[in-house]
Amino acid sequence: MTKADLVDKVTALGDLTRRDGEVIVDTLFESVIGALKSGDKIEIRGFGSFRTRQRNARTGRNPKTGAKVDVPAKRVPFFKPSKELRDSVNPTGAKANSEVDIHHPPAM
């Protein structure tokens, strides 16, 4: 789903113009980004929570040349889905091996 698809969904919910839908979606995204920039945590019950995590400085490697590269410490956004969201994506009783992606096997 793209941002435009999300705007279309919001617009279809009520008597809204496309511009109103864009304002709603943009306001939501800007609010989440602003809260994460200031270090706040966002929790949406039944959906999940957004927060930032600190990544320590490390020495990486340029995959093309193999040269060592210093990667500085940084904060990265992190999303943790709620139990309800995880359960709705992975309903119980579904066959575990029916849709296994060979490139992303399940965690053990």
Classify domain 3-89 at the CATH superfamily level: IHF-like DNA-binding proteins (4.10.520.10)
Look over the chain and give the mean of its residue pLDDT values, rounded to a whole number: 89
With the CA atoms of 9, 15, 20 and 25 taken in that order, what torsion angle do they form, in degrees rounded to the nearest 10? -30
pLDDT for position 92: 78
Token pair 């320590």: residue: 56
- What share of the chain has pLDDT > 70, as a percent? 85
**Tens digits of residue pLDDT in 23-51:** 999 999 999 999 999 999 999 999 999 99
User: What number is the average pLDDT over the span 47-67?
Assistant: 95
10 in Cβ contact with 16 (< 8 Å) = yes
Answer yes or no: is pLDDT of 3 > 80. yes
The CA-atom distances, in angstroms, between 11 and each of 6, 44, 53, 61, 91 are 9, 22, 34, 46, 30
Amino acid at the residue 104: H
Domain ranges for the chain = 3-89
Q: pLDDT value at position 15?
A: 86
